Structure 1
Amino acid sequence: MTSTTPSPSVGATPDTPHRPVRAGARQWAALGALTLAVTLLAVDGTVLALAMPALTADLGATSTEVLWIGDAYSFALAGLLISMGTLADRIGRRRLLLIGVAGFGSASLVAAFAPTAGWLIAARVLLGVAGATLMPSTLSIVRNVFTDPAQRTRAIAVWSAGASGGAALGPLVGGVLLEHYWWGSVFVINLPIMLLVLISVALLVPESRNPAAARFDLVSAVLSVAAIVPLVWAVKHTAKSGIDPAGLLAAALSVGAALVFVRRQRTLRTPLVDVTLFARPAFTGTILVSLITIFAFSGLLFFFSQYLQLVRGHSPLEAGLRELPATLASIAVVVVAVRIIARLGVGRALAASLLVAAAGLGVLAITEGASGYAGLAAGLILVGLGIGMAFTASTDAILSAVPRERAGAASAISEMSYELGVALGIALLGTLHMALYRAGLPDLSGLAVPAREAVTDSLAAGTQALAGTGEQGAQVLAAARDAFAHGMQITSVIAAVLLVVAALIAWKVIPSGRRS
């Protein structure tokens, strides 16, 4: 539904001439191609939630495989963002962008026709790798193409709206496709769009690179992946299986790799990550707030589309349309975001927006257990307004917390924290929701063993297994839907509390000096 704005990567340089040049039609057309690429990435991050019930039934995916299908993309993306950013500066941002576009299209084709859940998980990893090559290039190119400060501000605003709006449109796009086609259509749609982006970038976007880029440090790149991916896996594994040697070993590997990575960055002349940025309280506070916000929001969102279909009984298209209020609200807030930030200051604006989103989640927690749609719509509008405003304010806060020449490094760290928050949110809140669902199930001893296992595994599998099983099956299915809704309510409350905590951190740590 929503996504933060992807950011430029470490080492990205504006390459701005001494005298700004006004952009013409060619530059604005190039912006359209870049925005389309980021929009598609954002759509791909959220469109899959609606397809989960259908692909679960078709591929026979277990609940664990469903979680991996959801967050494998973010794992790969988060682990490789920093490395790919440095590579873009070295080999050329346009060149890496073209490679990423081609790779994203190819991986989409593999995902669309995946014969098993394992194949789909592998394809999602490849999509994450390709996405990591795309994200570092787009905004850096925008900064290079638009050298006039006023035009650059407008260009970045358009680019940001495309990114956040694309993520918000994901459920609606998925609903339209799934209403008429099979679940793989949510990946097939990537192919013509990526072909258009490939041609447009090749014709319109100039090449740019950092002429002083250092040698690509492969050791640091490996350490950055080793510090992120095992940590996320350890959290997922522990949340599902409890504390055991495998989870502890993965966590220890992550911590060890992180320590070695930080030590190495302090000794390099041109590090992958400028760790001194974390000495700035405003920067560190904003990164923490962004991580908590995405963690709270993404874990809930992953199951909300399933709730609309499996509990409320809506078709994929109907579910996508019912999520539209959040989409429209998150896009509309861009119109007033600048005025609100100027009036309240960045820190207070960010805190207020998170409180609005928390209120929206509170409304959802109440209405998810009731009938009717009006309450859900009101909650979604509040969530959309709050999250849309929060993304704008947090991006402003991150760029304001560091000198302009270090904005690239700051934005890359921000994007990495976002992807990490998505993965952790799906892993932890998703696993918590499944635990609550299973705890709320009725006595299943009267069911056949396959049906009992299906209901316990997930509501999607249980719905398929209990279809046409008579009155007993209908009663069990109704109780399972109640358990799923109750789990959503508790998860929504927890997510709302996390947003309140993030709001308090923003209020206390992030400066709120007013701007003209």
Structure 2
Amino acid sequence: MPFERNTIALTGVCLASLLFGLEISSVPVILSKLESVLAADFKDLQWIMNAYTIACTTVLMATGTLADRFGRKRVMVATTVAFGLASLLCGLATSAPLLIAARFLQGLAGGAMLTCSVAVLSHQFQDGKARGKAFVAWSVVAGIGLGFGPAIGGLIVALSNWQWVFLIHVPLAILALAFIGAGVTESRDHNARKLDWAGMLTLSAAVFGFSYLITQGGDLGTGVRIGVTIASVAAFIAFVVAEKINPYPMFDFSVFRIRQFSGAIMGAIGMNFSYWPFIIYLPIYYSGVLGYDSTTTGLLLLVYTLPFMVMPPLAERLRARYQARIAIPLGLLTLGIGFIAMWVGSGLEGANWMTMLPGTLIAGIGIGLTNSPTTNTTTGAVSPDRAGMASGIDISARLITLAINIAVLGLLLTQGIAAYLGKALGPALDAGEIRTLAERIATGNLSDLVRETPSLATLDPSGAIVHASLVHGFGWVMLYCGIGVLALSVIGFVIFGPKRVAPLERRFAAAE
């Protein structure tokens, strides 16, 4: 029966979205473990996360076209298989470079799988009401993956080993494949457009270049740094030109003239400017600064992410009553207040999880208020035939901002640590030694650092300076996130402009 088939298909697609969400939020909990078992430095840890997000961005827009041309079910099956195999490679990795490469492959598969999920559900559920319910279920399951990922990651490490944070996706992918194969109906668009190769390659090159510059810039010579900067800027300019001259671009810049769309994109950028990149570093704060184990850290991160799952109904009521021009900036404002509260709580004497609790809860409420109105506004602000492209721009804006800010937050963390060390240790260490030490401290593994570093054994035998420097670095990060997202809230409110008057209201006003 169609109902049963659609239910089976929805189960398979929801499992795929669960895999995607888990892979983003469960990995940060094990980063400190990877630092020791894989001899990964701080930059390696950044790339273990960033390889996934950059790879996702690379394939987002292309996958829709491929699915339209070769069959949505076929491409969905292929990407789910690829995700399972890439997860297996991640679990079998024996070094940081191998894990980074496997994470890139996993990101390619994950981004493609996410895009296919949207395409499959859109075709599988033809009735508008049923389609709405299907997307609600899909969003809830994705939220469960993102929300419970940290706790699940911490629990896996506590019961087994870090490899199973990746390997667990292999049986889940097989289960998803069984449901997808049994339930999804094959479909394709015989008028599918050609791939925008120029747009994909230039955008990917620009994002990778900027991320590489921020992450590795301190170790590059002046000439190389200038060269990477020029190449990244040139790639971005080439991307803009390519999209302007392509008759079927993956990024149609004309949609940015629509105030509702552009204002909502500020919401997408704001969330990934602060909340989602910070979740990668927050486990380091809980373990390195506050000294909690991976299980406790995972549970504390659940407090950070849980409101993301429970706030969407209230967010939609706010959007319905006050429009997106109020709902989205209000969500970003709440998010910014949360980060300022975290900054205050982390700087208190005897800071612990209780002093961080108000800020993490407020930030979680802010992300919950922002996410659903942002997604619904970006797709609802354009005509139905452009909804797929609008959704692609929305997701791309999120992942590009996420990739760049993973690097930015890492840079701020190490610079904040280095600034504190420079003042506390004075001329005892040169700039190069301070930078190297700051990167080691930024991993959060402080227990053996003093003992393994001869200079610190003399200068800071108790480890108090090292600990205080990490607190100082996180202060920089939280303040950056808070001020930045508050600024984006104001920018978004200005872009939305005055309240839109409905047609009936206009006629009534004109009659008066």
Q: Establish whether TM, by shorter chain, passes 0.5.
A: yes
CA distance in 2, matches of 1:43, 1:396: 23
Task: Name the counterpart of 2:227.
Answer: 249
User: How far has the Cα of 1:429 moved from its partner?
Assistant: 1.5
RMSD: 2.8
Provide structure 1 residue ranges, at least 5 long, that are not aligned to the other structure. 1-21
Label 1:335 to 1:484 Cα distance change in 2 as closer, same or farther (>3 A). same
The one-letter amino acid paired with 2:136 is: A
TM-score (structure 1 length as normaliser): 0.88
Structure 1 partner of 2:425:
443
Contact preservation (8 Å) 2:91, 2:163: yes
Shift of 1:404: 1.3
Secondary structure, aligned partner of 1:463: coil
Distance 1:185 1:477, change over 3 A: farther
Q: Does 1:490 align with 2:476?
A: yes
Instruction: Give CA deviations for 1:64-99 in whole Å, capped at 9, x if unaligned.
Output: 212111211111111221122221221122211111
Checking the alignment, whether the CA contact within 8 Å between 2:347 and 2:475 is kept in structure 1 is: yes
Which one is further off, 471-480 or 485-494?
471-480
Q: Runs of 4+ in structure 1 displaced over 4 angstroms?
A: 444-447, 451-455, 467-476, 511-516
Selected match of 1:457 from 428, 439, 444: 439
- The 1:42–1:429 alpha-carbon spacing in structure 2 relative to 1, beyond 3 Å, is same
| Cα distance in 1, alignment partners of residues 239 and 285 from structure 2 | 41
Task: Specify the SS of the correspondent of 2:291.
Answer: coil
Paired amino acid for 1:329 = P
Equivalent residue, structure 1, for 2:494: 508
Relative to structure 1, the CA distance from residue 299 to residue 225 in structure 2 (aligned partners, 3 Å threshold; closer, same or farther) is: closer
2:298 — aligned with what? 320
Tell me, yes or no, if structure 1 residue 226 matches structure 2 residue 233. no
Deviation at 1:300, TM superposition (A): 2.4
- 2:112 maps to 133
Superposed displacement of residue 123, structure 1: 0.9
Are positions 1:377 and 2:357 aligned together? yes
What is the deviation of 1:307?
Answer: 0.9
Is contact 1:437-1:487 (8 Å) kept? Answer: yes
2:175 to 196, 216, 220: 196
**1:472–1:225 distance in 2 versus 1, CA, 3 Å:** closer
Q: Distance in 1 between matches of 2:489 and 2:367?
A: 12
- Any stretches of 5+ residues in structure 2 without a counterpart? 505-512
More helix by share: 2
The aligned runs of 1:383-398 (5 Å cut-off) are 383-398=363-378
> How far apart are the structure 2 equivalents of 1:364 and 1:220?
39
Give distance in 2, aligned partners of 1:157 and 1:372.
36
C-alpha contact (below 8 Å) 2:343/2:478 kept by paired residues: yes
What is the aligned partner in structure 1 of residue 509 from structure 2? Answer: none
* 8 A contact 2:267–2:370 mirrored in 1: no
Is 1:424 aligned to residue 404 of structure 2?
A: yes
Correspondence for 2:66 among 77, 83, 87: 87
Is 1:455–1:465's contact at 8 Å kept on the other side of the alignment?
no
| TM superposition shift of 1:145 | 1.4
Residues 252-261 or 112-121, more deviating? 252-261
1:120 Cα offset (Å): 1.0
Deviation at 1:455, TM superposition (A): 4.4
Higher relative contact order (CA 8 A, sep 6+): 1
Q: Does 1:55 align with 2:34?
A: yes
The TM-score, its normalising length taken from structure 2, stands at: 0.88
1:14 alignment partner in structure 2: none
The 1:254/1:50 distance shift into structure 2, 3 A limit, reads same
Give the Cα separation in 2 of the matches to 1:124 and 1:476.
Answer: 37
Deviations 1:310-334 (A, max 9, x none): 1111110101111222222111102
State the percentage of identical aligned residues. 25
Preserved CA contact (<8 Å) 2:53 2:107: yes
Residue in structure 2 matched with residue 157 of structure 1 by the alignment: 136
- On the 8 A contact 1:236/1:427 being kept in 2, the answer is yes
Shift of 1:454: 7.3
* Alignment counterpart, residue 74 of structure 1, candidates 46, 49, 53: 53
Per-residue CA deviation, residues 271-300 of structure 1 (Å, 9 max, x unaligned), is: 333232233333233324422331222332
Which region of structure 1 is more displaced relative to structure 2, 86-95 or 54-63? 86-95
Q: Distance in 2 between matches of 1:282 and 1:350?
A: 11
- Structure 2 distance, partners of 1:270, 1:74, is 25
2:124 paired residue among 145, 151, 157: 145
Whether contact under 8 Å (2:243, 2:252) holds in the other structure is yes
CA deviation profile, 1:361-418 (whole Å, cap 9, x unmatched): 1111111233343232221111111101211111122112211110000110111111
Of 251-260 and 338-347, deviating more is 251-260
Q: State the Cα distance separating 1:241 from its structure 2 match.
A: 4.8
**What one-letter code is carried by the residue in structure 2 that aligns with 1:136?**
T
Give the equivalent residue in structure 2 for 1:11: none
Code of the aligned partner of 1:432? L
CA displacement, residues 127-175 of structure 1 (integer Å, 9 cap, x when unaligned) = 1111122121101211111222122222212212222331122211111
Aligned counterpart in structure 1 of residue 323 of structure 2, from 345, 351, 359: 345
Distance 2:238 2:261 in 1: 22
Aligned counterpart in structure 2 of residue 302 of structure 1, from 277, 280, 283:
280
State the distance in 1 between where 2:248 and 2:352 align: 57
Distance in 2 between the 1:430 and 1:384 partners? 21
**Distance 1:257-1:454 versus aligned 2 partners, 3 A rule:** closer
- Does the 8 Å CA contact 1:438/1:456 hold for their aligned counterparts? yes
- Distance of 1:116 and 1:468 partners within structure 2: 22
- Measure, in 2, the Cα distance between the counterparts of 1:144 and 1:298: 30
Judge conservation of contact 2:329–2:492 (CA < 8 Å) in 1: yes
Which residue does 1:354 correspond to in 2? 332
The alignment partner of 1:245 has SS state of helix
Count, aligned residues: 491
Secondary structure of 2:251's match?
coil
CA contact (8 A) 2:308 2:364 kept: yes
- Which residue of structure 2 lines up, in the alignment, with residue 285 of structure 1? 263
CA 1:261–1:311: 2 relative to 1, 3 Å? closer
